[in-house]
Structure 1
Amino acid sequence: MSLRIAEVSQRSGVPSSTLRYYDQIGLVPTGRESNGYRAYPEDVLDRLRFIDAARRLDLPLAEIGELLGSWESEACASVKARLRPRLDEHAARVADTIAGLTDLQDSLRSARAHLDELPDREQRCDPSCAFLLNETPPPVACSLGEGQAEQVAAWRHLLSDGRLDRVAGGVRCALPIERLAEAAALSAAEQACCPFFGFELTLRGDSFVLTIRSPDDALPLLAELTGLDVVAA
């Protein structure tokens, strides 16, 4: 028994325009009746429920399409194995977004507080008014002192367990998941003495990816930390 688009839309709650788009990109392909109308199989409602659940998790449509093929043809254990790393990666991206938005919120509050502190004057604004963020960037220098050599050695030991590659503005290294706690602790310690470095940890099933980014003037320090010539990148 086939269903027409209006019935599928009514029973699934998915707008007809969205169903046509899904058909266009191959996510929910349809057949055609002799009169040219779209014809959907009965099990399209299950497929649409899966898509809706995945979209609620904000998974990209391209990934949803890949997962659908597994969900409809493979064993549940295989589907779970495919889904876990995707959810881990997406959760890491969301965490990065939340951290970025939190930083932005703090900057906006700081800007508002600075604005309120400025005197109300009849004269034109001077440079102190022109810059809402009354902050100076941290100096590009490590404040660790005597413990720097020991920390560099710890980083070199960690990174030797994976493949280290240059990326735009820094380095990236894939490491086994059992080194995650060590990487997180080192990142936190390094952030305390070198706040100009940025650290990202992205989970990928039985491994994770550590990305360290640096401003251009701190690339020599990053090269010393990792042993990779990032200055020439």
Structure 2
Amino acid sequence: MTSYRISQVAERCGLPATTLRFYEDQGLLAPRRTPSGYRLYGDETVERLKFIKAAKRVGLSLDDIREILPVWDHGGCPEVRDVLRPLIEARLADTDEHVGELRAFAAHLTRARQKLDAIAPGAGPCSSSCEFVDSEEPQLLQITDAPVGRPGPVEGGVRVACSLDGDGQAGRVEEWRRLLSETIDHVRLANGVRVSLPMHTAGRVAELAAAELQCCPFFEFSLQLGGERLHLEVRGPAEAAGLIEEYFVSP
């Protein structure tokens, strides 16, 4: 039987070693140990990690994956399909709900832009009588990874791990930094940060936040349109403070 050290498995699977240790803590992996305490993995671990990555790509939580793995270990494809299908149906329903929210928010932004475009060049000072200011209440869009009827992912003591590999995580940080280069201001919160951006960034912010939840479900995002700015709030457990600083505070 072929045996691999943790660094070798990490390289073969495109995952950081920290993620493998996290999966072990979560009961998804059970490596053997050498007499000196080093972790050893077999070919079956590589196959299991491929399955875990595939399940993460369709938005399944680690709790879902933990329940599926015994079926994957001992059953055939039909049995795995029967367990996976209702979970994916639930994710589809949740995604459809988010799509509806994003479309409504996009329509709200379009109306706001139309009101701004209608302001005459010689108009006086902006005040509460302005059609844009005195129109609709700000719309709030919450984006989380929690399926309907379940608690959100931001809770005390949540373990923090990103399922992206090293290159993928670096690329995601770069995407956020490009977007946040337009930051107007930011305020640090007790468990996160509030970033103000131009309104035209709303679509990209929502898209990137939804993508982020696929690999980092411990984040919680909210978008709010107020005045002429889009306000993005990012929150997470205490263990995510370093990631929030790295990802969302414009350098």
Please give the range of the TM-score, normalised by the shorter of the 2 chains. Answer: 0.5 to 0.7
Q: How does 1:191-206 map onto structure 2 within 5 Å?
A: none
Give the corresponding residue for 1:104: 105
Identity %: 36
**Contact 2:28 2:66 (C-alpha < 8 Å) held by counterparts:** yes
Q: Distance in 1 between matches of 2:133 and 2:110?
A: 10
Q: How does 1:150-229 map onto structure 2 within 5 Å?
A: none
Q: Distance in 1 between matches of 2:69 and 2:61?
A: 12
Give the corresponding residue for 1:51: 52
**Contact 1:3 1:40 (C-alpha < 8 Å) held by counterparts:** yes
Give the corresponding residue for 1:24: 25
**Displacement of 1:115:** 1.6
Give the corresponding residue for 1:81: 82
After superposition, what is the alpha-carbon deviation per residue over 1:90-133, rounded to whole angstroms, capped at 9, x for unaligned?
A: 11111111111111111111111112212356754222337557
Give the corresponding residue for 2:95: 94
Question: Given the two structures, how large is their TM-score scaled by the length of structure 1?
Answer: 0.53
**Contact 2:128 2:134 (C-alpha < 8 Å) held by counterparts:** no
Higher relative CO (CA 8 A, sep ≥ 6), structure 1 or 2?
2
- Long gaps (5+) in structure 2: 138-148, 150-251
The amino acid that maps onto 1:47 is R
**Displacement of 1:31:** 2.5
**Contact 1:111 1:133 (C-alpha < 8 Å) held by counterparts:** no
Q: Distance in 2 between matches of 1:77 and 1:56?
A: 20
After superposition, what is the alpha-carbon deviation per residue over 1:16-71, rounded to whole angstroms, capped at 9, x for unaligned?
A: 12111111211122232112211112210000010111111111111011111111
Question: Given the two structures, how large is their TM-score scaled by the length of structure 2?
Answer: 0.50
Q: Distance in 2 between matches of 1:11 and 1:84?
A: 28
Q: Distance in 1 between matches of 2:125 and 2:69?
A: 61
The amino acid that maps onto 2:53 is D
- Long gaps (5+) in structure 1: 137-166, 168-233
Q: Distance in 2 between matches of 1:104 and 1:37?
A: 51
Give the corresponding residue for 1:226: none
**Contact 1:115 1:132 (C-alpha < 8 Å) held by counterparts:** no
Highest Rg: 1 or 2?
Answer: 1
RMSD across aligned C-alpha pairs, in angstroms?
A: 2.3
The amino acid that maps onto 1:64 is I
